[in-house]
Every structure is written in C-alpha cells, then in structure tokens.
Amino acid sequence: MRSSGINITRHACLYETAPAYVTDQPRFINSAIRGVTKLGPHELLSTLKRIERDLGRTDGIRYGPRPIDLDILFYGKYKVRSDILNIPHERIWERPFVMAPLMDLLGSAIDSDTEGMYRVMPVANGLLDWSKRTSVMGILNVTPDSFSDGGNFMSVESAVSQVRLMISEGADMIDIGAQSTRPMASRISVEEELSRLIPVLEAVVSMPEVEGKLISVDTFYSEVASEAVSKGAHIINDVSAGQLDSNMFKVMADLDVPYVAMHMRGDPSTMQNSENLKYDNVCKEISSELYSQVREAEISGIPAWRIMIDPGIGFSKKTEQNLDILKGLPDIREEIATRSLAISHAPMLIGPSRKRFLGEICSRPTAAERDPATIASVTAGVLGGANIVRVHNVKDNLDAVKLCDAILRQKSSRMKSSH
C-alpha cells in the first residue's frame, strides 16, 4: 500500500473468523488499518482494486472464496454515495468481523457477538492463536557467559541434544541466543554472534523433531535477525525493542515474521545502573516506554498483528520491581490499551527463569537451584495474563502452565455460563 500512495499509521489485530454469507469455504482472516493518502475516494477505490488484482483476486461468486478483499470503511468525516462506492461502508454494523478490528483502531471494546472469532498471528505458514493455551519457549544459549548455562551448549552436538530434550519435554518454541544479555555482559560483534548462531540454527531447523515447532532467535542486531530468518528462524526476540540497532524496525518490516519487543533501559552493560532503576510506577512506566518503541515499529511497517510484548523481567529492574511486574501484568495491558487497543491484546511473553531476583528472595545463589522459584513466578505470570513463558526447565514449568491453563479455562467457562 505504501508504494501506492497509502501511508499506514495504525493496525488492528488480525482475527480468524468463520466465513460469512457463503459458508462452504475456508475460514477468513480479517483486520483493519488506518492510513493517510492524497488519493480521492474513487482514486483510492481504484488503487485498492488494482492491489486486489495484483494479489490474484478475480471476479467470482459474491462473498465466495477470494485471496483478498479490501474495503473502504471511512474516508475521514466525508460521506460518499455513488453507483460504485458508499462511505461509510453500509454493512459495517452487521459484521462483527469488521467491527472487532475497527474497534481496535477506534480504541473501544466491541459489544457485538464475537463468538468464533480469534485473534491470531501469522507465523511459519500457520496461525498462532494464543487464547487457547499458554506456549512454553525453551531457552538455548550458545554463549560462553550466560548466567545460567553459559558454555554448556557451544558445540552443535550439545545444542542439538538440548533442543531434542526440550522438545521431548513439551516445548512449543525454542529461543536461540548467541549473545549474553545478563547484567554487565560485554557486547560482541555481529560477526561473532553470527559465527556462534548460524551453525547451531542450521542444525536445529533440520532436525525432524522440530517439525511443527517455532524457532526464535534472541538478538538485537538487525543483520543477525535478517540472516537468522533466511536460515529458517520463525521469530525474532529483541531485548532492546529496537533501541540498540537503528535499522532493526526497517529490517523487521521486510522480514514478515513475528517480532518480540522487550522493555529495557540502556543495554545489558548499563541496565542495572542506578539511573535505569528509578521508577515512580514501574508498570505504568514500562507500558509507556515499551509502547513508544512499539509505536515506532508500527510506523516503520511492522503491523500490530506481528508484534509480541515482553515487560522485561530482570532487565533494568530491581527485585521489588520484578515482583510488581509479575502481579501487575493486567495493569500493563490496561495502560497500553489507553494508547492502542490492538497492542494491548498482543501476545505477552515473560522470562523470569532462574533470574537473580528469585535467588535473592529464596536464598538460592546458584542459578540452577532456582527452578522451583521459576515455577512459582511462571504460575503468577500465566494467571496474570502471560501467553508465552521463556524457561530453561521445560518439563517442570510445562506442568505449572497446564495447571494454570486449566484454572483459566474453568474460570472462563463459568463466566460464560453465568451470562
């Protein structure tokens, strides 16, 4: 659209819905965008029809199967009535699959029936629906200096063995990191990060066991992100939310894979400095600072339906602030919703696994001893609305996640039956 004179300024979520009117066809994917253009209403219509043709749409059964369908819902405050164009679109109010994304843009919740509609994220030739259950992301650090498992998985053989173990234990995703982001970690170059990452990534994506699983790469370098996706990575997980590489958003806009934006102040070597630990209201300030980066990402061309958010537990946070985050995940979503309803609905990832604050609370100086505390923090996070948990110990945390999901399903079922 940008190349056609339409500058997109905001995206709604992506919704999977049952087909309307003609029901004997595949499920639909619906969304909405807000944009700015110098094209007049009829010029805009012609441009959208050309885009439809370019994407393979042909004249067929009305409301029948089609690769794409672009409609103009509003054109500023103007009304248009002609033989070929009616604005506002005359069927907005009868279509929940239009109303839901429209309300994302307008910033208010939808009252109409949304039964059978699910927010989804395109990933790896499929759709991630994070409403049904919590996903477990297993951590693979191919670094010599990570705080928990540094040096354990530097060889391709040991890395592949660990991935095989995590998948056998039930991991939905594997997050591969080749640069330590522990406090006070020294930054390595793009070249060194790639030299560690690529041999392992190539081996992992070729594993038969990885079929149907998602591979994430943990990096704040745009060059690493681009190379990783070309080698088969499905997700880019950026602890800096674009702050440590000015090209990250531009590159991610072209890569067409999900992007995890995490809150952090400074960089790993400075994030625990006193000035980066000052918060008046940690959840409110995380929401504001993270959203400002996400907004920049969206303007740069990364649609809201490809963004995941991470409040950054353990990154530029003290122990008490990490606890505030764990109990305040709903507050973070609510605060983001005042700025963007779509982003407030984004999948939320948390990564408390074996972190120092758990050791401080439980008197466990060794990272590997912090798994029980990790399970407790994961439980709090999932019950508070986290959708993906990033952990070292997949097996035990998966049990906690399954229990939390069962509790949430029962709660949801009772709420529906009471209405």
Catalytic site residues?
Answer: 355, 390
* Euclidean distance between CA atoms 126 and 328, whole angstroms: 31
Distances (CA, A) of 127 to 57, 119, 134, 297: 22, 9, 15, 21
Calpha distance 245→256 (Å, rounded): 18
51: tokens are 């885009």
Instruction: Give the CA angle between residues 233, 237, 241 to the nearest 5°.
Output: 140
- SS3 for 8? strand
Write out the H or E segment, with its range, that includes residue 225.
Answer: helix 222-230
User: Rounded distance, CA 391 to CA 394, Å?
Assistant: 6
Tell me how far apart the alpha carbons of residues 146 and 409 are, in angstroms, rounded to a whole number.
36
Query: For 47, phi and psi rounded to 5 degrees?
Result: -65, -45
Instruction: Compute the distance between CA of residue 411 and CA of residue 359 in angstroms, rounded to an integer.
Output: 32
